Structure 1
Amino acid sequence: MAIRFNALLADEGIDPATVRLLRHQTGKVRGRTPYSLWRDDLEGFERYQSTQDSAPRERAKFVGPYWASFVSPSPGATLFVGLYGATRTGAVTPGTIDPFTGDHVGGQKGMVTPYDQYNCRRLEALSTYIGRLFIHWGDSASANRAWVQRAEKQDKVIVELTRVFQEETFPGFTKLVRPLSEIETMPVTWQEVLRASRGVYLLACPRTREHYVGSAYGEDGFLGRWRSYVATGHGGNIGLRGRDPSDYLVSILEVAGSSATIEDIIALEAIWKVKLHSRDIGLNHN
């Protein structure tokens, strides 16, 4: 029999009808997610959560004394990050900056702000589950869009409870496929593996379905090379410089041995260009 989240609330003497479920999952900031904000800056995450849209229809979604907060560490995953007591205190103070987007959410002095300010207090109740408990949020597109839900109407199934908070396991070089925008939000352990490894990689444009074969042989390995694309949009490559920027999907074609020279890695790159016809039907111009 499945264990459900509302059973945990009941054990704490909390009526699910008083709880709103919040799944922070927006992708509107390139290179950052609410999960990475929570992981790296808890205070910033709580400030981000405490300002919400003041439109009447939106405001009604947050009416309730408790918020159960969740983030999405990977597509489809829903991780519990705390139960909060939440009280609306009024309009956001003019000049307030959203710690996630870096934008003004307080408007300008003398202007009506489109955001409400909430006093969010993280509670001791369910605190032992923070960073350890995963629920099933839903399979449909509408369920994923509904990031605020009522607990009594959506009794979520608990799908995993880990012993301690742990980052997603590195999938291995052959299975790694990620958008470039997620490079900086990858777990530190992933970044260190990629920093220490060199070889040949593939960039694939999800918009045009074109691809580019490249090689990483610098001091910071794959990580350093991919960061150059994030910074410039083209990494200095001729074939990418003259086209609209894209959030390329990056993957690894071959990892070079520790004794491989720069010339060896460039030779591997040339072989993969031939295999994938990236000069003929791809974005390689050399």
Structure 2
Amino acid sequence: MPLTLGPLLIDAGIDPARALVIRHAFAQESEESGLTGLHANSTHAEIFEYTRNQSASTRSFPADPPRIWVVFIKEGGDQARLWSVVENRGEIANNGIIRTFELAETDVMADLRSRLVIGWKSPRTWKMSASTAARYPVVGIADAEPIPFPGFDRLVLSHVDLQAVMREHRYASWRTALSSVFGIYLITDTRDGRHYVGKADGEESIRQRWSAYATNGHGGNVELRGLDPSSFRFSLLRVFDPSTPTRDIDVAESHFKDALDSRRHGLNRN
């Protein structure tokens, strides 16, 4: 049985009965609309702006559109490639020709952006209920483009980002880099600014240590159990070659605990 869009929407937490699917086509808008239209070189920001401005005619666009919009870009005559999933927070302007909506970008289906291509059975239709689009076939899902590793001293990750790094193919080079070093890392609880200083040494690389945090949020640390990892931010304070003596790594860890005062005013217990 061929894969359709429906299961992908549901897996992403989207209720097809409460979502809108849009397929933008490359086109020049009429002058009275005030819009520039779209073309093959339109930027992400231009597509976003184009999406948030819709016709004031309720025959062209729903009077009360749902909260979630799944937006595709036309590809060929009968296909569409996923651009993004946005959240509609309501109409903010209406000049009788154009209605402008407050939209917010989401991370929903982010791993499928520019990768997911579906068949579009109704070439003259550019919008529809997701319940209808749910039956459209998935034509293909392209391999994710690799994301270059930014360097150890520029690495700052939310917990969601960390989970993606440990799981997704596009971060393979990141996992290789993190596997090659020991080091001292910092976890900041962004809700209150408290720090936790930790280390990876012995038989655990940074990748192995952070993989545990990606899995359960606390990495086995008593100090972090019971806290919500969604507010954690991960970064590296210092990296070491695996041949570095453990005592040197211990000294560095103690230094950063003192420097950041993470024992008295943070999340370290010792």
C-alpha contact 1:84 1:120 (8 A) present in aligned 2:
yes
C-alpha contact 2:182 2:201 (8 A) present in aligned 1:
yes
More strand by share: 2
Q: How many residues align?
A: 179
Which residue, out of 81, 87, 93, partners 2:115?
Answer: 81
Larger CA deviation: 171-180 vs 223-232: 223-232
Which residue, out of 53, 75, 82, partners 2:16?
Answer: 53
C-alpha contact 2:82 2:112 (8 A) present in aligned 1:
no
Distance of aligned partners of 1:197 and 1:177 in 2 relative to their CA distance in 1, 3 Å threshold: same
Q: Which residue of 2 aligns with 1:3?
A: none
Q: Which residue of 2 aligns with 1:257?
A: 241
Determine helix, strand or coil for the equivalent of 1:80: coil
CA distance in 1 between counterparts of 2:243 and 2:203 reads 14
Which residue, out of 245, 252, 256, partners 1:268?
Answer: 252
Instruction: Using the aligned pairs only, state the percent identity.
Output: 26
Amino acid paired to 1:48: L
Distance of aligned partners of 1:274 and 1:219 in 2 relative to their CA distance in 1, 3 Å threshold: same
Determine helix, strand or coil for the equivalent of 1:119: coil
Aligned ranges for residues 140-219 of structure 1 at < 5 Å? Answer: 166-186=145-165, 187-219=171-203
Q: Which residue of 1 aligns with 2:227?
A: 244
C-alpha contact 2:4 2:138 (8 A) present in aligned 1:
no
TM-score (ref. length: structure 1): 0.51
Determine helix, strand or coil for the equivalent of 1:174: helix
Determine helix, strand or coil for the equivalent of 2:8: helix
Amino acid paired to 2:151: G
CA distance in 2 between counterparts of 1:53 and 1:115 reads 5
Q: Does 1:122 align with 2:139?
A: yes
Q: Which residue of 2 aligns with 1:233?
A: 217
Q: What displacement does 1:67 show?
A: 3.2
C-alpha contact 1:86 1:121 (8 A) present in aligned 2:
no
Q: Which residue of 1 aligns with 2:92?
A: none
Q: Which residue of 1 aligns with 2:82?
A: 69
Q: What displacement does 1:179 show?
A: 1.6
Amino acid paired to 2:154: K
CA distance in 2 between counterparts of 1:59 and 1:207 reads 28
CA distance in 2 between counterparts of 1:46 and 1:194 reads 36
TM-score (ref. length: structure 2): 0.54
Q: What displacement does 1:175 show?
A: 0.3
What RMSD over aligned residues (CA atoms) do the two structures have, in Å?
A: 4.0
Amino acid paired to 2:251: A
Q: What displacement does 1:269 show?
A: 0.3
Q: What displacement does 1:182 show?
A: 2.6
CA distance in 1 between counterparts of 2:191 and 2:68 reads 37
Determine helix, strand or coil for the equivalent of 2:251: helix
CA distance in 1 between counterparts of 2:163 and 2:145 reads 18
C-alpha contact 1:52 1:59 (8 A) present in aligned 2:
no
Distance of aligned partners of 1:191 and 1:220 in 2 relative to their CA distance in 1, 3 Å threshold: farther
**Which entry has the higher C-alpha Rg, 1 or 2?**
2
Distance of aligned partners of 1:122 and 1:236 in 2 relative to their CA distance in 1, 3 Å threshold: closer
C-alpha contact 2:218 2:224 (8 A) present in aligned 1:
yes
